Amino acid sequence: MNGVTNKKSSRRVRERNNLIFYCLMLAFPIAQFCIFYIFVNFNAILLAFQKYNPDGTLTFGTLDNFRRLFADMKGLQQLRDGWGNSLLVYVISILSSPIGIIFSYYIYKKRFASNFFKVVLFAPSVISSVVIVTMFQMMADSFIPNLINEWFHPQPQMLGLLTMEETIFPTIIFYGIWIGQGTSILMYLGAMGNINDSVIEAAQIDGITPMKEFLFVVFPQIFPTFSVFFVSSLTTLLTNQMNLYTFYGANAKPQYNTIGYYMYVKLIRSSGIADYPYVAALGLLITVITLPVVLIARWAMNKINPMEAK
C-alpha cells in the first residue's frame, strides 16, 4: 500500500517537474513570438491607420496614408512601374525554373562532373550578395563592354551594361537568374534524392528514355517541391527587391523599382519614424493583395499535383 502511494507521489512530483521544465523552456520563445510576431503584425495594422505629427507623436484614426499611397501610385513612377516590374521578375523566375530542374536531374543521375557542378553552382548561395554584386558590377561595366569594343569595334562604343538605359533591367534580371540557380538546383536535388529507386528501376526495365524518365517519372515525383517554390515565390512577389539595393543603394532609377525595393528605401530613408505609417499602409496593401493570391495558388497547385491525382 505504502509502495503504491510512494509510486503515485513520485509520479506526481515528476509530472510537476516536467510541467515546470516545460513552462520555463517555452516562456522565452512564446514571449518572443507574442511580441515580435503577433504584436508586430497587429501594430502594422494600427500603424497603417496612424498619422505622424510634427511633435513626433502618432495619432490613430486616419486614412491619410492610404490616400497618399493611392495618389503616389498615380503620380510616382517608382510605384507606377513597381507593380509591373515586380510581376515581371516573378514571371521570369518561374519561367527560368525549368533550367534548375533540368540541371538538378543531370546531377541527380550522377553524370560526368556532377559533384563539381553541385559545389560550383551552390557557391554563390554562401557568398554575400554585396561581394558578388561588386564583382558582377565590375565585370558588366568594364570587362564585357571593353571586350566587345576590342573585338567588334561597334560605333558608338559600347558602355557598361549597368550604365546603358536599355541594358540595365535585362542585366539585373539576368543576374538574378544566373546567381539564383544554385539554391533551386539544391532544392530540387534534395527532392529527387527522395525518389524511390525502385520506381526509376521499374521504368528503366520498361526501356524508358532519359527524356521520358524525366518528364513522366521524375517531374511528377518532385512536383510538391516545385509547388512550394511556385507558392513561396508568390509570397515574396511584392517584397522582392531584385538586388536593386545592393546594386544602386537608394539611388536606383525610378523606372526599374520594384515594390519591395521602394518599401525598403522608404524605410531606410525615413527620418525617425515619420514614414513608418506610410510604409505600414503599403505593407498592409501588399498583404491584402498577396494573401488571397497565395491561398488560391496553393489550392490550385494541390489540385493539379499529379501524385495526388493518382
Partner 1 sequence: MTELKTSNGLAKVWTVIKKLGKKLFKKKPTVFSVVCACFLWIFSLSLLFLFAYAFVNSFKSMSDFMWNPVGMPEKWETENCIHVLNYFRYQEKAHAPFYYIEDMIGFTLLYCFGCTLANLTIVTVTAYVTARFDYKFSGVVYTIVLVTMSLPLVGSQASELHVVKTLNLYNTFIGSFVLKANFLSLYYMVFHATFKGVGKSYSEAAEIDGAGNLRIFISIMLPLVKNTLMTIGLIYFIQYWNDYQTPLLYLPAYPTIALGLYQFKGSTIPDIASPTIKLGASILVFLPIFIVFLIFQNRIIGNVSIGGVKE
- # residues near partner 1 by CB under 8 A: 102
Contact residue for partner 1 among 60, 143, 216, 299 (CB under 8 A): 143
Contact residue for partner 1 among 154, 190, 254, 306 (CB under 8 A): 190
234-293: contacts with partner 1 (CB under 8 A): 234-236, 238-239, 245-246, 249, 263-264, 267-268, 273, 275-277, 279-280, 282-287, 290-291
83 interacts with partner 1 by CB under 8 A: no
Q: Which residue number, 1 or 196, has a Cβ lying nearer to partner 1? A: 196
**Region binding partner 1 by CB under 8 A among candidate stretches 34-42, 81-89, 161-169, 195-203:** 34-42
Instruction: State the minimum distance, in angstroms, from the CB of residue 262 to partner 1.
Output: 11
Contact residue for partner 1 among 158, 162, 191, 265 (CB under 8 A): 191
Q: Which residue number, 247 or 256, has a Cβ lying nearer to partner 1? A: 247
**Residue 222 near residue 195, CB atoms below 8 Å:** yes
**Region binding partner 1 by CB under 8 A among candidate stretches 72-80, 89-97, 138-146, 302-310:** 138-146
